[in-house]
C-alpha cells in the first residue's frame, strides 16, 4: 500500500507539472550592478547534448538570460565533451542530464550514466587545467545519470528525492542562516535564504569541499524504483550529514555541485502556471545566489 507523502495538490504539482514546466515570462532577470560590461564576461556553455531536462533555449533560458544580464557570454552546446569542445570555455553548466534509456520520461531504475568514461575524463582534465564546472543533478533519475561524473570529483549522489518535512502536505524547502541550512560563507554575504524545489542530496569526500546547502536529521531521501512512486518499502536514507550544495577546488579549477535545478531558473508549472524558481515565494534571494555561484566559478570572487 502506497504511503502518502504529499497532499493531492502537491502530487499534482510534482508529478503532472514535471511535464508542464515552462520558462516564466514574468520573472525579473535584471541585474542592477553587472559584474562585467555587456558581452565582455566569461564564456558560459550550457550543455544540451545529454538529453538534458534543462537547456539554454528551454527551462534554463531564464538562467541564461540572467547571466547575460550580468555581462557573461552564454551559449548552448550539444557536442560531446572532449578536450577540443571544452577549449575556450570558462564555465561548463550541466543541468539534469539523462542517459538515453531514461529519456525523455522513462524515469525508473536503472538510471545509468549520461556520460561516457571518455567524456568524464575530458571534463576532469578541463577542470584540473583551470576550467569551471557547474554540475546540477535533481531528484531521481537525474542524480543517477550524473553519478559517475560526480564521483570523479568525490561527489556521491543519492539517487532519490530529498524531502525536508514528514509525510503530509509539503512545506517549502528553505535553507537559511538561522536554521543552519545555508552555510555562512563570504561568497554569499548578501544572501540569507535560499529555496529549493524537491531535489536530490549527496556526500562529498573531496579534500577542499565547502558545504553551501546542508541537510540535517529532519530530512530524508526516498529512493523509489519509479520517479514519484513511493511505497511502504521504498528505501529511505537519513539526510543527516548530506548536502544539496557545495563548492570544490580541483587542481587549478573550480566545481559547484547542487542537487536541485529549478532554484537557479524561473519557471511556471502545472495548469495554474504556478511560479517555480526565482519568482516563487521564499526564493526572493535565489537570483543573487545564482549570480554568486557562477561568479565564484568564473573567478570573480
Report if residue 205 sits inside a domain. yes
In this predicted structure, what is the pLDDT of residue 300?
63
Characterize 188-219 residue by residue with b for buried, 16 or more Cβ atoms within 10 angstroms of its Cβ, and e for exposed: beebbbbbbbbbbbbebebeebbbbbbbeeeb
What is the domain extent for residue 134? 8-298
Kindly report the CATH number assigned to the domain that includes residue 72. Answer: 3.40.50.880
The pLDDT assigned to 169 comes to: 53
Asked, for residue 131, whether it belongs to a domain, the answer is: yes
Predicted pLDDT of residue 96? 98
Residue 203 has φ and ψ, to the nearest 5°, of -110, 155
Instruction: Centre a 10 Å sphere on the Cβ of residue 30 and count the other Cβ atoms it contains.
Output: 11
Task: Please indicate whether residue 32 or residue 20 has the higher confidence score (pLDDT).
Answer: 32
Asked, for residue 3, whether it belongs to a domain, the answer is no
pLDDT of residue 271: 86
Average pLDDT over residues 234-259: 97
How far is the C-alpha of 88 from the C-alpha of 219, rounded, in Å? 40
Query: Given this model, what pLDDT does residue 9 score?
Result: 31
**Residue 12: pLDDT over 60:** no
The pLDDT value recorded for residue 166 is: 56
pLDDT in tens, 249-290: 999 999 999 999 999 999 998 888 889 999 999 999 999 999
Q: How far is CA 100 from the centre of its chain?
A: 20
Q: Which of 54, 51, 102 is nearest to 78 (CA)?
A: 51
In terms of DSSP bridges, do strands 132-136 and 91-95 run parallel, antiparallel, or are they unpaired?
parallel
Within a domain: 165: yes
Domain membership of residue 215 (yes or no) is yes
Least confident of 11-15, 34-38, 87-91, 287-291: 11-15
CA 250, distance to chain mean position in Å, is 19
Does residue 2 sit within a domain? no
Q: At residue 130, what are phi and psi to the nearest 5 degrees?
A: 115, 0
Report how far residue 111's alpha carbon sits from residue 254's, in angstroms, rounded to the nearest whole number: 27
Greatest mean pLDDT range, 11-20, 42-51, 169-178: 42-51
* 1: in domain: no
Report, in angstroms and rounded to the nearest whole number, the Rg of the chain calculated over CA atoms.
18
pLDDT digits (tens, 9 = 90+) for 119-159: 999 999 999 999 999 999 999 999 999 999 999 999 999 99
**Banded model confidence at residue 116, pLDDT cuts 50, 70, 90:** very high
Domain tally, the chain: 1
- The overall average pLDDT reported for the chain is 92
The cell for 191 is 544572501
Residue at 57 is within a domain: yes
Percent of the chain with pLDDT over 70: 91
Amino acid at each position: 500500500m502506497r504511503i502518502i507523502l504529499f497532499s493531492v495538490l502537491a502530487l499534482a504539482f510534482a508529478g503532472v507539472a514535471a511535464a508542464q514546466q515552462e520558462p516564466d515570462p514574468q520573472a525579473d532577470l535584471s541585474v542592477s550592478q553587472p559584474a562585467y560590461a555587456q558581452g565582455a564576461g566569461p564564456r558560459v556553455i550550457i550543455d544540451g547534448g545529454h538529453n538534458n531536462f534543462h537547456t539554454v533555449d528551454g527551462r534554463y533560458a531564464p538562467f541564461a538570460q540572467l547571466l547575460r544580464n550580468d555581462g557573461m557570454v552564454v551559449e548552448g552546446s550539444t557536442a560531446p565533451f572532449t578536450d577540443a569542445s571544452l577549449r575556450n570555455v570558462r564555465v561548463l553548466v550541466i543541468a539534469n542530464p539523462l542517459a538515453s534509456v531514461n529519456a525523455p520520461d522513462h524515469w525508473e531504475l536503472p538510471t545509468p550514466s549520461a556520460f561516457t568514461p571518455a567524456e568524464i575524463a575530458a571534463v576532469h582534465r578541463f577542470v584540473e587545467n583551470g576550467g569551471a564546472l557547474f554540475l546540477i543533478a535533481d531528484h531521481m533519475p537525474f542524480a543517477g545519470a550524473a553519478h559517475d561524473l560526480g564521483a570523479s570529483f568525490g561527489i556521491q549522489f543519492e539517487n532519490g528525492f530529498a524531502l525536508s518535512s514528514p509525510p503530509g502536505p509539503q512545506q517549502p524547502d528553505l535553507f537559511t542562516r538561522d536554521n543552519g541550512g545555508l552555510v555562512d560563507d563570504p561568497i554569499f554575504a548578501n544572501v540569507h535564504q535560499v529555496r529549493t524545489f524537491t531535489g536530490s542530496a549527496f556526500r562529498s569526500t573531496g579534500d577542499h569541499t565547502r558545504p553551501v546547502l546542508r541537510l540535517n536529521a529532519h530530512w530524508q531521501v526516498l529512493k523509489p524504483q519509479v520517479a514519484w512512486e513511493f511505497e511502504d518499502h521504498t528505501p529511505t536514507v537519513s539526510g543527516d550529514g548530506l548536502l544539496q550544495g557545495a563548492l570544490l577546488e580541483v587542481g587549478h579549477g573550480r566545481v559547484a555541485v547542487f542537487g536541485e535545478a529549478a532554484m537557479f531558473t524561473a519557471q511556471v508549472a502545472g495548469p495554474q502556471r504556478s511560479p517555480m524558481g526565482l519568482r516563487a515565494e521564499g526564493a526572493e534571494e535565489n537570483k543573487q545566489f545564482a549570480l554568486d555561484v557562477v561568479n565564484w566559478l568564473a573567478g570573480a570572487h
